[in-house]
Amino acid sequence: MELPIDYMTLRVIWWLLMGVLLIGFAIMDGYALGTLATLPFVAKTDEERRAVINTVSATWEGNQVWLILGGGAIFAAWPFVYAVSFSGFYLAMFLVLSALILRPVGFKYRSKRPGKAWRNNWDWALFVGGFVPALVFGVAVGNVLQGAPFSLDSDLRITYHDQFLGGLLGLFSPFTVLCGLTSVAMLLLQGATWVSLKIEKGALRDRAITYGVYAALAVIVLFALGGVYLAYGGLGFKVVGDIAADGPSNPRNAEVVKEAGAWLLNYGKYPWMIAAPVLGFVGALLALLGLKIKADPWAFIGSSIGVLGIIGSVGVSMFPIILPSTVDARSSLLVWTASSSHTTLFIMLGVTLVFLPIVLLYTAWVYKVLFGRIEVKALKTNPDLY
């Protein structure tokens, strides 16, 4: 049976949807990660820390949906990507999940006892739950850009090479650390703009704004350094030869070679793609301006635009490559060679068109209901607050 959408178009649609889910997670759960990463520094007293925690306590669980959907989309739409990345970066993912587990545990146990040491320890646990995922996610993106040491044999079995301590320490290099710091700064900005939007006016909000200004400046500088590194640091991959964009999925049907500066070739081939890095800088500048003049909604919107632009820049720079191999040119994973079947992508697209709007509408309704600032005095009168 001939499907109404051709295979090539479906692959591009699912590449875009994967980007949407990753950006959605970075924006929606990113402010929770960034908020917790600033917790020990922005809030000075126990009441202030409780107030900061309660800016995210009502919404963080729902925001996890974006992470689950992203993982599910990779599993269903890009099975080769899922198999290679989840097996090769297993310890890094375990580290992220361990840190994320600290978040709900910290929320529930922090106020169970009144002792200062008890609460301070849980505050630092919440900090780890915000900072570590932000850092590791950025490091992971850096490793995708510099390539992973894997190969696929003729039966498509995966082999990883040069994996020191299970690949965990091997993930860290000067460039990947730069990407990790960019991710941390980006989510700290997202968290600071969220706190300034949700906390009542006063000293606590002012401190969040101050940290947000520093984070915005760091985003601009680090993102620019990342671009310079891609241009002159010897990184980059490109596809060699012709590939049937509507052909069967087999990673070994394409060849990818390493070439310095190749990640920037798409901007000459498709000039409209320059919009992604421009949005990264414009969003950070808008957030910086919004924080300076205390226009909280505009600061948060600007930060979110910056997230969209920074993550979008990675996607458009790499297209059509998803994960290049540094040890075997024919094992690299591409949009055209690593997807599920034509029928599978079509059926999943139909399901997505039904359920994704429901998720978006429900999320919008939740935020409408929970709209408003957290007041410190409410911590003493509202039993629903942590």
For tokens 């591009």, the residue is 12
Neighbours of 349 (CB within 10 A): 16
DSSP secondary structure string for all residues of 255-294: EEEE-TTGGGHHHHHSGGGGHHHHHHHHHHHHHHHHHHTT
pLDDT digits (tens, 9 = 90+) for 138-151: 999 998 999 888 88
Q: Is residue 246 part of a domain?
A: no
Q: Is residue 322 part of a domain?
A: no
Q: Is residue 332 part of a domain?
A: no
Q: Where residue 167 falls among pLDDT bands split at 50, 70, 90? A: low
Q: Which pLDDT does position 280 carry in this prediction?
A: 96
Q: Is residue 21 part of a domain?
A: yes
- Is pLDDT of 114 > 90? no
Q: Which pLDDT does position 163 carry in this prediction?
A: 56
Instruction: Tell me the percentage of the chain whose pLDDT exceeds 90.
Output: 45
pLDDT digits (tens, 9 = 90+) for 115-142: 888 989 999 999 999 999 999 999 999 9
Domain encompassing residue 361: 7-232+342-381
Q: Which pLDDT does position 244 carry in this prediction?
A: 79
pLDDT digits (tens, 9 = 90+) for 221-240: 999 999 999 999 888 899 98
Q: Is residue 257 part of a domain?
A: no
Rounded to two decimals, the pTM is 0.92
Q: Classify 339 as helix, strand or coil.
A: coil
Neighbours of 233 (CB within 10 A): 16
**Averaged pLDDT, 245-273:** 88
Report the C-alpha gap between 82 and 88 in whole angstroms.
10
Q: Which pLDDT does position 162 carry in this prediction?
A: 65
**Averaged pLDDT, 87-100:** 84
For tokens 């390539």, the residue is 147
What does the H/E/C string look like for 168-185?
CHHHCCHHHHHHHHHHHH
- Is pLDDT of 166 > 50? no
Q: Sign of the CA dihedral 275, 277, 283, 289?
A: negative
pLDDT digits (tens, 9 = 90+) for 275-319: 999 999 999 999 999 999 999 999 999 999 999 999 999 999 999
- Is pLDDT of 91 > 90? no
Q: Domain total for the chain?
A: 1
**Averaged pLDDT, 328-343:** 88
Q: Is residue 318 part of a domain?
A: no
Q: Where residue 381 falls among pLDDT bands split at 50, 70, 90? A: low
- Is pLDDT of 356 > 80? yes
Q: Mean pLDDT over all residues of the chain? A: 88
Q: Is residue 210 part of a domain?
A: yes
Q: Where residue 196 falls among pLDDT bands split at 50, 70, 90? A: very high
